[in-house]
Structure 1
Amino acid sequence: MFALIDCNNFYVSCERLFNPGLRGRPVVVLSNNDGCFISRSEEAKAIGLGMGEPAFKCRELLQQHRVALYSANFPLYGDLSARVMRTLADFAPDIEIYSIDECFLDLSGFGRFDLDRYARQIRQTVEKHTGIPVSIGIGATKTLAKAASRMAKKNASLGGVSLLRTDAGIRDALSGMAVEHIWGIGRRYGALLHRHRIHTALDFAAAPAPWVRRNLHITGARVQEELNGRSCLPLELVRPPKQSICTSRSFGTPVIAKEELQHAVVHFASKCAFKLRREESRASLVTVFACTSPFAPKEKRYWGTETLSLPAPSNDTLLLLKAATLALERLYRRGYEYKKAGVILSGIGSVSEPQQTTLSLFDTDPLPEKQGRAASLMEALDALNFRYGPGTLRLASDCSSGWKQRQEKLSPAYTTRWSDIIEVKP
């Protein structure tokens, strides 16, 4: 048996945790540059605010219902997510963190437990320890647990917990779920299935297996098996290494000056390098891209991208920044208003893997000694930023500039910055 724990309206729940006055009031969290809705309270959903809808199109509705708007505060959300996951890890021997607000628990050895009661105990403990409300779905497979979790969130009478154990209960749950809402199906496959008169999860579970494999390939075949109670997706206790790492942002205001765009690219490359070292990996390819708004007049649109290969795989911020800066030099075109840029690292391998290095006749510094100094420098850089906060120590070229995102409604970093900790006064 698997349990899926899903934090309810997670980003909104994080904002409400430190501002109880928001309870019972419509609340939304906005995407980068305060553009679209990425999290909505139940009250916000009830008045018709759709997921991904641009905020500027709903100004009258927002004012009419006194909706509280917040810029995305990812440091806060990430810290609270870690607290939730640490709490959940005490309830099962194996846990898979699926996303920032979801995780699976393996309940295989819990046959003698009353699982419904145990799930409610988990739910109460998480809310008591972290303040975050969760919904829990339990099923014989991960896909059925996902379906049960959806039921727990949609049906208030279930009290936040849904257990799919009997054949009748599973049939009822699957018959009420549209096929595009099945975990792993999505809109594209959903449209195909609707055209073949497969409208619900129950229809999909009963569809001919050869047809499913032929049209939805191995992914669809596994989902169908899971819906029929045969587990095909084991718990991923160790996350597979990343094949690429990307940091990109849309700018709050268009960037024209090359210097400002370079500041942004340097910042993105620094973040990618940090992520790379955290993965204990090295990259051999550096890609930089920059583009204008897709809604700009045709003659003012531009998408530029450039990829450079490193002489040897590296996770050294200085080396990666040099490559990113050179790539930007090659792709930059004067006269355009850039709306977005990013850096992608690929060709990733573990630091433990032997690497082939291209030596230069003009390099008088022995390579092992140079690598040792660079590794020590990066270790010191990461240690200081971990202890005193991200950005405490950075390169001079990684500085704030006009490219920064618009975050006009950002809440304090209550749990990750000393100056933002709430003070309780008598």
Structure 2
Amino acid sequence: MPTFALVDCNNFYASCEKLFRPDLKDTPVIVLSNNDGCVVARSREAKTLGIKMGVPAFQIKAEVERHRILAFSSNYALYADLSNRVMCILEKMAPQVEVYSIDEAFLDLSGIESVTSLVEFGKQVRERISQWVGITVCVGIAPTKTLAKLANHAAKKYPATHGVVDLTNPDRQRRLLALVPVNDVWGVGKRLSTRLNMLGITTALELANASPEAIRDQFSVVLERTVRELNGNSCIELEEIPPTKKQIVCSRSFGVKVTQSELLREALCEYTTRATEKLRKEQQQAKMLTVFIRTSPFKGNEPQYSNSASGELLIPSCDTRDFIELANHLLKRIWKDGFRYAKVGVMLSDFYDLGMFQPGLFDEVSSRSNSQQLMSVLDNINHSGAGKVFFAGQGLKKDWSMKRDHLSPAYTTRWNQLPKVK
């Protein structure tokens, strides 16, 4: 029988912000979304004060001042680097690891119990990550991924567990399931839980006791799989290699409203460049590009406009130049004067593996000379930290960039921002 562990970093974004600031040890900290809009992470102290997840920052301004809560802009470079350090440790401790999100990973613990107890292994994971990275994690262990999620939930909720819960015992599974609301089960959202509540299913245990066949008939095969997982039957395998993306979206809300087409073009060029970088990282090519623009739906007193346009290359490409040219063409089709634009974005789709596209017999197509080599050099320079090469269309000032008024240093990825010890 398989055994899984879910390792989840506690209050990850907030913990990253505190890591290089020992003076903030007991200070309530929140992390804000793009443009410093909403709360996306809270430290333990901020949660105790009742700060809600997703609340707009302007609505809690008085509470932030009264309780001296420190707010940070999202520092994705810092979070990604610390996440990578955590995942590297896990990959050295377990035979198979699935990186589920930036702060979560599933581990295959098959065979671990012949060497040490599962709880002891969980403690070793916590201690090593704490010592080597400085981040606190909780570990949930169970025979299925769904139960491992619940075990991790219990490890966070109950201090007596010391951050590790072994849920391989069926009796312990049933006791915990009876305490967990059905909406806290992995994959059961608000809409599903409302329908389940109408059927008298309010706890995870009641869902586990439901007939899998009846659940499949009334809901879906996905929820049926959840029922079986809650009963200890593993239906979801570990995915060591993430599935290939079917589309890549890159968009941001502007820090200020944009009324000039030149500035909107700059932002569009920037996001197209980022999207194609991600495309090359996936080792894919794409044919289809969609561009979308919109005004702010929250400004009801202003004229509203939103539109999108799609275009297709003759042959798949991962060359940024191809997509910038197409993006500018599409923008001309949907741009309208007289509006204050709040957002622009691009979506790449219709993916192909490298070298796997066969053009039509009479298609007159040709690719750019040395395209792959040029893009590879571009990516290597930009990822090395030694310098930055960009397209002229991306602009220099970038007055439209999102607000990040509370951004902390990139402590681990930029030489000039390394922490200094006095």
Q: Give the TM interval when normalised to the shorter protein.
A: over 0.9
Matched, 1:39 2:36: no
The SS at the match of 1:138 is strand
Shift of 1:11: 0.3
Measure how far apart 1:297 and its partner are.
Answer: 2.7
Deviations 1:114-144 (A, max 9, x none): 1101110110001101001000000000000
2:77 corresponds in structure 1 to 75
CA–CA distance in structure 2, aligned partners of residues 85 and 26 of structure 1: 27
Tell me the CA shift for residue 358 of structure 1: 8.4
Q: Aligned ranges for residues 108-119 of structure 1 at < 5 Å?
A: 108-112=110-114, 113-119=116-122
Q: Of 416, 419, 423, which residue of structure 1 is paired with 2:420?
A: 423
TM-score by length of 1: 0.95
Structure 1 residues 298 and 59: CA distance shift in structure 2, 3 A: closer
Shift of 1:360: 7.0
Q: Which moved more, 1:209-218 or 1:127-136?
A: 209-218
- C-alpha deviation, 1:91, in angstroms: 1.1
Match of residue 209 from structure 1: 212
CA contact (8 A) 2:38 2:56 kept: yes
> Residue 333 of structure 1 aligns to a residue in which SS?
coil
Cα offset, 1:371, TM superposition: 3.6
Determine the C-alpha separation between the residues in 1 that align with 2:321 and 2:17: 37
Task: Identify the residue that residue 30 of structure 1 maps to in structure 2.
Answer: 32
- Preserved contact between residue 255 and residue 402 of structure 1 (Cα < 8 Å): no
Q: Secondary structure at the match of 1:24?
A: coil
Cα distance change, pair 203–161 in 1 and its aligned pair in 2 (3 A): same
Q: Give the drift of 1:372.
A: 4.0
Q: Secondary structure at the match of 2:223?
A: helix
Letter in 2 for 1:34: D
Indicate if the aligned counterparts of 1:37 and 1:54 stay in contact, CA closer than 8 A.
yes
Match of 1:303 in 2: 306
Q: In structure 2, what is the Cα distance between the partners aligned to 1:216 and 1:402?
A: 48
- Decide which of 84, 90, 93 is 2:92's aligned counterpart: 90
Is residue 313–residue 355 contact of structure 1 (8 Å, CA) maintained in 2? no
* Structure 2 counterpart SS, 1:393: coil
User: Aligned equivalents of 1:347 and 1:211: distance in 2?
Assistant: 37
SS of residue in 2 equivalent to 1:184: coil
Asked whether the equivalents of residues 73 and 405 of structure 2 are also in contact (C-alpha less than 8 Å), the reply is: yes
TM-score (norm 2): 0.96
- Range with greater deviation from structure 2 (190-199 or 164-173): 164-173
1:281 equivalent to 2:288? Answer no
Aligned-partner Cα distance in 2 for 1:388–1:359: 45
The residue aligned with 1:7 is: 9
**How many Å apart are 1:79 and its aligned residue?**
0.4
1:352 Cα deviation after fit: 3.7
Residues 312 and 358 of structure 1 are in contact (CA less than 8 Å); yes or no, is this contact kept in structure 2? no
Q: CA deviation at 1:42?
A: 1.1
Q: CA deviation at 1:210?
A: 2.0
- In structure 2, give the amino acid aligned to 1:392: K
Amino acid at match of 1:60: A
Q: Which amino acid aligns with 2:408?
A: S
The 3-state SS of whatever aligns with 2:221 is helix
2:385–2:414 contact (8 Å) kept in structure 1: no
Moved more, 276-285 or 379-388: 379-388
The DSSP-based 3-state class of the residue aligned with 1:347 is strand
SS at match of 1:90: helix
Cα distance, 1:313 vs. partner?
Answer: 0.7
Distance 2:160 2:23 in 1: 26
Which residue pairs with 1:247 in the alignment? 250
User: Hey, what does 1:397 align to over in structure 2?
Assistant: 393
Q: Which residue of 2 aligns with 1:19?
A: 21
1:340, distance to aligned residue in structure 2 (A): 1.1
CA-atom RMSD in angstroms? 1.5
**Runs of at least 5 residues in structure 1 that lack an aligned partner in the other structure:** none
Whole-Å separation in 2 of the counterparts to 1:138 and 1:216:
28
Shift of 1:208: 1.8
Please tell me whether the aligned partners of residues 93 and 106 of structure 1 are also in contact (alpha carbons under 8 angstroms).
yes
- SS where residue 264 of structure 2 aligns? helix
Counterpart AA for 1:335: G
Q: 2:373 aligns with which of 353, 376, 382?
A: 376
1:130 maps to 133
Tell me whether 1:181 sits opposite 2:177 in the alignment. no
* Aligned pairs, number: 418
The share of aligned pairs that are identical, in percent, is 41
Following TM superposition, by how much is the alpha carbon of 1:215 offset from its aligned partner in structure 2, in angstroms?
2.2
- 2:342 is matched with 339
Query: In the alignment, is residue 268 of structure 1 matched against residue 265 of structure 2?
Result: no
Letter in 2 for 1:52: G
Distance apart, 1:52 and its partner CA: 0.3
Q: Which residue of 1 aligns with 2:383?
A: 386
Structure 2 residue ranges without an equivalent (≥5): none
Task: Quote the offset at 1:24 in angstroms.
Answer: 1.1
1:139 aligns with 2:142: yes
AA partner of residue 380 (structure 1)? V
Q: 2:377 is matched by which residue type in structure 1?
A: A
Give yes or no for the alignment of 1:315 onto 2:312.
no
Moved more, 412-421 or 212-221: 212-221
Matches of 1:372 and 1:140, distance apart in 2: 53
